[in-house]
Amino acid sequence: MATVTLHGNEAHTNGELPAVGSVAPDFRLVDGKLNDISLGDYDGKKKLLNIVPSLDTPTCAISTKKFNDYAKGRDDVVMLVVSADLPFAQGRFCGAEGIDNVVPLSMMRSRNFAKDYGVLITGGPLGGITARAVVVLDKNNHVVYTQLVPEIADEPDYEAALAAL
């Protein structure tokens, strides 16, 4: 279990992020066409998982835009933004913001992703959504970088995450 805050109010996660050097847990998430997507769908590419509570918040929107800008012209990398938002809401957000280099994925059908990655908030008003985190994987799905952002309202360390790619 890890502790994060939102404007100074504590929230607890169900566990810890996967350890650097470990193989990332597989997942089943939902894309904008309501398809089940797994980690294997991105075999052979480096992956950055931008895990956010909801794209309908300023910090989540900013981080998604910044990672989208970085991904332009990078065929060797896939940027995934994972949230509890419905795929339809994710699609509206990405369309309105001109985001087309980030793949939005939803936990609509299950919270297993959040549980397996140790980011599921377990109680209080944010219970059931994720803490803010970044996980970077190499092309073989080994974890090369993680950050659990201590204050949910803060942005992640972009430089460190992008350097890990």
With pLDDT > 70 as the criterion, what percentage of the chain qualifies?
100
Domain ranges of the chain: 3-164
Following DSSP, what letter does each residue of the chain receive, concatenated? Answer: --EEEETTEEEEBSS-PPPTTSBPPP--EE-TTS-EE-GGGGTTSEEEEEE-S-TTSHHHHHHHHHHHHHHTT-TTEEEEEEESS-HHHHHHHHHHHT--SEEEEE-TT-SHHHHHTT-BB-SGGGTTSBPPEEEEE-TT-BEEEEEE-SBTTSPP-HHHHHHH-
The whole-number average pLDDT for the span 85-107 is 95
What is the predicted pLDDT for the residue at 110? 94
* Catalytic residue (choose from 60, 120, 161, 165): 60
Entry pTM: 0.94
94 is catalytic: no
CATH class of 3-164: alpha beta
